[in-house]
Amino acid sequence: MLSQILCRVRLTAVVAAAVVAALAVAGCSATSPASAAGSRSGTLTIGMLNQVQSLDPVDALPPVFDFPAYDPLIYQTAAGSYEPDLATSWGYVDSGHRAFRLSLRKNATFDDGAPLTAKAAAASMNRFLAAKGPARSYAGPAQKVVATGPDTIEIDYSSPMPYSYVVKSLTQNFNFGLIVGPKGTANPATLADSSDGIGEYKLDPSQTTLGTTYTYVPNPLYFNQSAIKYGKIALKVVPSASARLAAVESGQINWAFAMPVSDVAVGKSQGLHTALGGGQTWALVLENETSGPLSRLKVRQAIEYAIPRSGILKSVYAGYGTAGSSVVVPGGQGYSAVNGDPYPYNVTKAKQLLAAAGYPHGFTMSTLDFGLIDPNGVFAQAVASALANVGITVHLTVNSGGLAQVTSLVLSKAYQSIGYLHTAVAEPHPRHL
């Protein structure tokens, strides 16, 4: 969630603390789905951390609320690989990597009966670009999408784009590739509380209470009926992690996502299944490098040396993850092992750098942390404690408001630093379960 907000803010120095696993717990109950795909047996009920502001793919954060009703152009599997979905093939059609063409599926219709065409897909994607919603940055420097034939579209970029980035941006996790039908594109206000997509399911307004429960039923027009595994999918908003865990234990929900790693042992002791997925990078983003202490390179370096990444990983995240000085971990896209770990934990060196920068007694720094994803501010408090050891006093603000409030605070530039969570892997998709 936060990466979608922070990409609108100039990211300056980043102090990576730990990359931790994302935990889900699942229980078995009478409403569990049948094992055979296509039997549509039972209800899959998923406990979600927070509600979605709008079901319109332009604004839907997190996009998981749109997954049942909107197939992406390219589907990212639970293992991270890419498969054809609404697009059957894709690739660059120029040597400069600025023109990316996709061939569309020919037997797909939106849930209101309108056919998938290149014109419809281009209109949907151009609306996404023009709307400049919170997920707009995922499309990168895309300028426009044009229909180059009845079933082919081309994305034109203002600068060369890496193939891997473009493909990822068109998956279900990044909104740009979630295609809206002509009716919804022409009347986007209707998308806030209804669906107009091509997906295994479609939203059932009669069983949906916005902000609380979102219910999806099988889409009879979906092109692959055998892929519909459940009779119903319900996404229930349960902000409290303890309440989500209790709901799984009691059988009220089947899966609970975004659980603290501290609940792994609790879940296992209750006979629940646990699933760990990598990709959440916790970091401290230093916002102000133009004035004050953070404008000094040696101060920023001191902060790097002052944070015990391995210690935080062990004490806060029970050792589930990888500690490092980069937001990209070994095996991740863009990782380079050339410099190894340039900032190993070293309190003495941190104090020396602060003194050399003119702050032998430290200074005070304001930090914003988001309570919805950092319950009780445990990550931020661990960082604050570490910085206190070298003389830096952190004035911590833990805000547990919704997306709109968080966005406003980030854009206010009122804080010198921000506790930052970047999710680099796929959101939970019903096809994964």
CA atoms of 219 and 60, how far apart (whole Å): 20
For residues 285-293, give the mean pLDDT: 82
The pairing of strands 321-322 and 393-399 is: unpaired
pLDDT at 49 (0 to 100): 81
Residues in the chain: 433
For residues 119-135, give the mean pLDDT: 95
HSE-up of 95 (CA within 13 Å, CB side)? Answer: 0
CA atoms of 426 and 171, how far apart (whole Å): 9
CA atoms of 76 and 72, how far apart (whole Å): 9
What residue spans of 279-319 are helical by DSSP H?
A: 297-306, 309-317
Confidence of residue 176 (pLDDT cuts 50, 70, 90): very high
Mean pLDDT highest for which of 1-10, 43-52, 143-152, 249-258?
143-152
Residue 280 has pLDDT above 70, yes or no: no
pLDDT at 376 (0 to 100): 74
CA atoms of 147 and 188, how far apart (whole Å): 21
Where are the strands (E) in 69-212, listed by range? 74-76, 82-84, 87-92, 99-104, 142-149, 152-157, 201-203
Mean pLDDT lowest among 166-180, 207-221, 306-320: 306-320
Angle at which helices 297-306 and 378-388 cross, to 10°: 110
- Residues paired with residue 100 on neighbouring β-strands, in sequence order: 92, 155
Confidence of residue 62 (pLDDT cuts 50, 70, 90): confident
With a CB cutoff of 8 Å and minimum separation 6, the contacts of 313 are: 17, 18, 20, 319, 320, 321, 322, 323
pLDDT at 51 (0 to 100): 83
**pLDDT tens-digit profile of 179-215?**
999 999 999 999 988 999 999 999 999 999 999 999 9
For residues 287 and 9, the model is more confident at 287
Largest CA distance in the chain: 69
Under DSSP, is residue 11 helix (H, G, I), strand (E, B) or coil?
Answer: coil
Q: Which two tokens stand for residue 177?
A: 């590739």
**pLDDT tens-digit profile of 83-98?**
999 999 999 999 999 9
Confidence of residue 379 (pLDDT cuts 50, 70, 90): confident
**pLDDT tens-digit profile of 216-273?**
999 999 999 999 999 999 999 998 888 998 999 898 999 888 787 778 778 888 888 8
Residue 341 has pLDDT above 90, yes or no: no
pLDDT at 215 (0 to 100): 97
Q: Which two tokens stand for residue 125?
A: 């994607």
Indicate the average pLDDT of the chain. 84
Buried b (16+ CB within 10 A) or exposed e, 40-75: bebbbbbbbbbbbbbbbbbbbbbbbbbbbbbbbbbb
Mean pLDDT lowest among 133-137, 291-295, 363-367, 404-408: 404-408
pLDDT at 415 (0 to 100): 85
* Side chain identity at residue 188, one-letter code: P
| pTM of the full structure | 0.76
The pairing of strands 417-423 and 364-370 is: parallel
* Side chain identity at residue 62, one-letter code: P
For residues 280-301, give the mean pLDDT: 85
User: Cβ distance 98 to 161 under 8 Å?
Assistant: yes
Mean pLDDT highest for which of 119-133, 362-376, 395-409?
119-133
With a CB cutoff of 8 Å and minimum separation 6, the contacts of 306 are: 345, 347, 350, 386, 387, 389, 390, 392
The pair phi, psi for residue 252, each rounded to 5°, is -70, -30
Under DSSP, is residue 301 helix (H, G, I), strand (E, B) or coil?
Answer: helix
With a CB cutoff of 8 Å and minimum separation 6, the contacts of 218 are: 40, 200, 201, 228, 230, 231
Q: Give which of 18, 33, 49, 67 is closest to 175, Cα–Cα.
A: 67
Mean pLDDT lowest among 305-309, 312-316, 398-402: 398-402
For residues 121-138, give the mean pLDDT: 93
**pLDDT tens-digit profile of 15-52?**
444 555 556 677 644 343 333 344 577 999 999 888 88
For residues 105 and 52, the model is more confident at 105
User: Cβ distance 286 to 15 under 8 Å?
Assistant: yes
Which domains, ranges and CATH numbers included, belong to the chain? 2-21+277-423 (3.10.105.10)
Confidence of residue 14 (pLDDT cuts 50, 70, 90): very low
pLDDT at 137 (0 to 100): 87
Residue 3 has pLDDT above 60, yes or no: no
For residues 336 and 43, the model is more confident at 43
Angle at which helices 309-317 and 378-388 cross, to 10°: 140
HSE-up of 28 (CA within 13 Å, CB side)? Answer: 7
Residue 428 has pLDDT above 50, yes or no: yes
